[in-house]
């Protein structure tokens, strides 16, 4: 599978993943007043966002035909 996540998209995914992970851990530690179901949901969101940012490939983007990676990336694809 070729890369379909661009640099800006990776930065946003990393930030959202980190925030979701922090919120998940805060919920588990009872430091945030979120419902108990929020911790595993936010944990999965964090893992998905960080995983797609690290690999540069998003399965949903592939299904939808979206590509935020520039065409002239100079071999980074």
> From residue 43, how far is each of 22, 27, 59 by CA, in Å?
9, 10, 19
1 vs 10, residue with greater confidence: 10
User: What is the pTM assigned to this prediction?
Assistant: 0.84
pLDDT of residue 38: 94
Q: How many CA atoms lie within 13 A of 37 on its CB side?
A: 0
* Per-residue pLDDT tens over the stretch 21-68: 999 999 999 998 999 899 999 999 999 999 999 999 999 999 999 999
Q: What pLDDT score does 72 carry?
A: 57
């Amino acid at each position: 599978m070729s890369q379909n996540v661009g640099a800006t998209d990776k930065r946003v995914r990393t930030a959202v993943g980190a925030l979701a992970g922090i919120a998940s851990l805060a919920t588990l530690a009872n430091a945030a007043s979120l419902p108990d179901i929020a911790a595993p949901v936010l944990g999965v969101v964090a893992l998905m966002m960080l995983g797609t940012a690290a690999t540069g490939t998003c399965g949903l983007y592939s299904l939808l035909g979206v590509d935020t990676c520039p065409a002239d990336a100079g071999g980074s694809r």
